[in-house]
Amino acid sequence: MLNWISTRSDATLADAATALFRSNFSTEPAGVWAAPGRVNLIGEHVDYAGGASIPFALEQNTAVAVAPREDGQLRIASEFGGKVYRVDVFLEEVGPGWAAGTPDAWAGYVAGAVWAGLEDGVIASCEGLDIAIVSDVPVGSGLSSSAALECSVAVAAYELSTGHAPDDAARTRLVLACMRAENEVVGASTGGLDQNASLFGQKGKALVLDFSTGEVRRVPFNIAERDMVLLIADTNAPHTLNDGQYASRRGVIDAVQSALAGSGARGGTIRDTPDAVAAATRWAREAGEDEGVVKRRVAHVVEETARTLEAASDLEAGNLDRFRELMRDSHISLRDQYEVTTPELDCAFAAAGEVGARMTGGGFGGAVIALVKRADVESTAEAIAAAAAEGGFPAPTFLVASPGDGARRIAG
């Protein structure tokens, strides 16, 4: 029997967050805000290298019921796995490294979003908050539950401090604040893809994110018109981005970009550098770094960026056949050049038929997506589940995904 991920409506999610708030804080919230997880169709591990990505916001959300305080304290209650977890912290205690490597790292996404928003000035003021959290975004699946948490809290704190919802300019600043929360407070070296998708998502649209220019462009994702759906298979393999593996990959790219910029190469990113693979390989040789590793990592960034730009054109032209081929090629590069897949991910990729399939998210566990005919959803999911069982892997869970709206107020 297949396991399918359930999704609550905004109203039901808001009721759950409000009930959790009442039971923990014995008062009423000022409102309930929600932010979605995201799925990335293509463009992986390029957001920190001036590349491009095509994600969309999911219809699965994290909801936060929030009320202001006046004593400088954040009181945070989160419902997860049938249990309620509490962390209370004064805002003055929060800062770089506060939650890195701790059992309460999840609270760093919450407190960090408020801290960074205040530091950056996008959140005008905050004297403390009571926050109750419920979520339908699977944790550890590569669907960005962390960004959903950060962005829901950031939008709530912004609206409570300003009295109005954020416009696109404010959302851009909130993206940067949420990135700081994740990078500095929690210690996860993410690059902005997730936060952009969670804050700028729109129902029925995918986003083309250009990390060289900062452009965010919404494009139709009308696969239903072609009788196709996007199947997500969460492998349920352990997945975390703050354990060093993600950071080591980014460290190589950051070092290359720093060296290329110092050598006078045009621009500050791999994307801006002509013959970037050859230039990076020369640098590795001269610096005593592993030439093979550097060459593979940079080749992925260069090729993945080119794939994504082509995929954006294919998506707008309705050429889903070519789009599906590019998805396959993306996974192969992530497996062979960036080396971020796992046996579980590769197993699901193969079982899904490869064409139209790829891992999504940072890798090292998480989910595989497959763009398939609607009539093939059940058979594809069954093939993935059977392959996982044969390989001795955990039973996957499944979701048929559609683009949803970005962070917003849903009640109160």
Please tell us whether the domain made up of 3-222+404-411 is placed in CATH 3.30.70.2740.
Answer: no
The three-point CA angle 141-236-251 to 5° equals 50
Full-model pTM: 0.93
Mean pLDDT of the chain: 95
What backbone torsions phi and psi does residue 394 show, to the nearest 5 degrees? -60, 155
- Point out the residues of the chain with pLDDT beneath 50: none
Check if the beta carbon of residue 309 is closer than 8 Å to that of residue 302.
no
User: Could you tell me which of 212, 216, 182 has the C-alpha nearest to residue 196?
Assistant: 216
Decide if 194 is catalytic: yes
Which pLDDT score is estimated for 317? Answer: 93
CA–CA distances in Å: residue 127 to residues 17, 39, 92: 22, 34, 10
How far apart, in whole angstroms, are the C-alpha atoms of residue 361 and residue 342? 12
User: Could you tell me which of 122, 104, 131 has the C-alpha nearest to residue 33?
Assistant: 131
Which pLDDT score is estimated for 189? Answer: 80
- Read off the pLDDT of residues 215-266 as tens digits, 9 standing for 90 and up: 999 999 989 889 999 999 999 987 666 567 888 999 999 999 999 887 655 5
- As given in the structure block, the two tokens for residue 4 are 């399918």
Which pLDDT score is estimated for 264? Answer: 56
Q: From the candidates 194, 314, 346, 405, give the one annotated as an active-site residue.
A: 194
Hey, what CATH class is 223-401 in?
Answer: alpha beta
Same fold, 3-222+404-411 and 223-401: no
Query: What is the DSSP annotation of 28-86?
Result: --SEEEEEEEEEEEE--S-GGGT-EEEEEEEEEEEEEEEEE-SSSEEEEEEEETTEEEE
- As given in the structure block, the two tokens for residue 322 are 């070519």
- Counting Cα atoms < 13 Å in the Cβ hemisphere of 116 gives 28
Domain boundaries, the chain: 3-222+404-411, 223-401
